[in-house]
Structure 1
Amino acid sequence: VWIFCASQWQWCTCQGKLRWGNAGKYQERKPSNNNTEIKVQCAVGSHGFKDVRPGDDGKHCDCQVEVGTPYFNSLNPLLLPKNSPLSPGTRLIGDCDIYRQGMMDGDHGKAQ
């Protein structure tokens, strides 16, 4: 599962693989040697990143997260992509769809 880590020019730290780019054009980096973590500045020229989408100011870094790992289980579920599996024994208690559905519940919701 790929999750957003940082916008262009910001720093990103991933436990595992990282990708830089936008809209289907990405460059990937892995931690070096025996490291499990990689930290990069999400910018052209940083860590050998090329400008994969010139003029696109939406370039960013994403982290690849393995489902079921302690790192995945520590993430706030609201940061995960919409169709990501949840950790075993958990359930989603909040997202935009749940909040929209609840807007009409009760007198307060109907008054909105």
Structure 2
Amino acid sequence: MQKPIRAAKLQAPSSKLQAPSSKLQAVDDDGALILELQPRHISLAFRHFRLKQGLSQYKLEQLTPFSIHTICMRESVHYQNFPTVTTLYSYCDAYDITLTEFIACAFSFVTTDMTMI
């Protein structure tokens, strides 16, 4: 199992130690910014955008270089690998979104996980 991606710890300014304003951020007790993205968050984002666009896995297969089996596997929350940037761009092109929009959605699932703890 791959470890989650952890951003380097960044110190928040001591004069303004506030709750994060973005859903993409989490601040631990000492004010350090920590972001944890796991493969399941990417899988949830793949599925979220496919359904949002009203695409079946069959139609997505026609829009991307991936088979239905691969699409289904990548949408599984049990999938344990991070996709390549090329793979992400293929999906983003099919969903007609930017890579930034995709990553923001994936990180929204991180914050959902963190609120459930």
Q: TM-score, normalised by structure 1?
A: 0.24
Richer in helix (by share): 2
The structure that has the greater radius of gyration is 1
Task: Please identify which structure carries the higher strand content.
Answer: 1
